[in-house]
Structure 1
Amino acid sequence: MSTNSAKQAIRKTYLAKRKALSPEAFRQLNNALLEQCRHLDLGDPAYIHLFLPIAARNEVDTWPLADQLRERFPEATLVLSRSFIATGDMQHFAWTAGTTLAENALGIPEPENGEPVQPAQLDVVFVPLLAFDAAGHRVGYGKGMYDGFLRQCRPGVRTVGLSLFGPLEAPVADAWDGDVPLHSVVTPEKVYYFTDTKNE
C-alpha cells in the first residue's frame, strides 16, 4: 500500500471512530483530555495558537481549553487562524474580546478581524489531528496546511496535538521530510512526549 493510500485508510478509520462516538462518550473523552491538558508544561508563553473545532466531525472541543488557558496564563495572547483552502495559506490573528468569529466552508470558526500575529511570535501551537504514531507523526486531513504553517514557526516552539484516541500501533508510513513531528500529544489517558522528554 502506498503512503498516500495508507494515510487515506487511517483518515477513513479515525473519522469513522469519531463519528461513532455517542454524545456521552464524546463528552467523557473530551473532559478527560481537557483535564490532562492541565498537566502540560507550556513554560511562560506570550502567544498560544489554538484551533477551534469542526463540531460536525467530533473534533476535540477546544472552547473549554481556551478558558483554561486564559485562566492559567492571563498575560498570554490566544491566537486563531484564518485558512485559505485554495492556496493552502493561513493567516493568524490575536483572539480578543473584539474578535468576530464566523464559520468557513469547512465549518471551522475563524476570525474575521484582529491584530495580525506572525508564526515566529508563537510559543505554543495546539494542532488538530486524526491520528498519531509513537514518534509524534500526525495524520491530518491531508491538505498539508498545518505542516506548512509549523515550518514557519521558530525553532523551539511547543507543538501539542490533541487526540481522543491513543497512538497508532504502527508508524505512520514513510513520513516525508515535509512532515513536522509534534513535541507532544494529549489524549484522555495521558500526555505523550516525543522531544527530549520521556512519556509520563
Structure 2
Amino acid sequence: MSVRVLLVDDEPLIRAGLRAIIDSEDGLSVAGEAADGAEVPGLVARLRPDVVLMDVRMPAVDGIRATTHLMSTVDEPPKVIVVTTFENDDYVYDALVAGASGFLLKRARPEEIVAAIRTVLAGDSLLFPAAIRRLAAQHAPAPAADGLLGAGLTEREREVLRLMAAGLSNVEIAGELYVGVQTVKTHVGNVLAKLGARDRTQAVIRAYDSGFVTPSR
C-alpha cells in the first residue's frame, strides 16, 4: 500500500514542490494539504496519513503546537517530520521534544526528502543524527546527573541507548555489540517502552534532556 503523506506549509509553492516530489515516487502519495497547523487535527482524523511534513513556523498555529496536539490527542499519531529553513532554528529542537521524528531543510534535495520519509517509517535509525546532536548541544538542558536512573534500564539497554544516541542503526549496533539484529530490535523496543518513548528519536531526545548522554557543546 502507498505511504500517505500530509503536507502542512503556509507557502503554496513549497507544498506544490513537495507534492511533485512525493507523487512521482513509487509507494508514496500526498493524502492532503494544509496551510496552517490549525487544520492538522481534522485532516489527520479524516485522511489518516502515515507521515506529516510540517512547517515549523506558521502564522497562526505553528508546527510545535500542532505536533504537541497530535501527540497528546491521537491514539496512533502519524510520524511528523518538521520542515524548516534553517538547521539551527530554535523551533526545531522544541518540535523534536514535542514528538517529531526528525526534521528536513526546505532546500533538501528530492532524494533526501524521500529518504527522510522512509527512514522515519522504518524507525531503525535516526534521521540526520549529527544534526540532532548539534541541536541538543545548543538547546538541551545540562542536568547535573543521569536522569534515567529510575527508568529501570538494564546495563545492555543503557549501552544500546548510548549507541542509538550516537546515531548507529540497528545493524550497526548489532555489529558493535556482536549480537543479532533481532536481539538489538528487542533491546530497542524495551528501551522505548521503559522510557515511554513512541520512537527512536524521542528516546534519544530523552537521553539528552536527562543528562544520560551529553552532546559536545
Bucket of the pairwise TM-score, normalised by the shorter protein:
0.3 to 0.5
What TM-score results when the alignment is normalised by the length of structure 1? 0.40
Larger Cα Rg: Structure 1 or Structure 2? 2
* TM-score (normalised: structure 2): 0.37
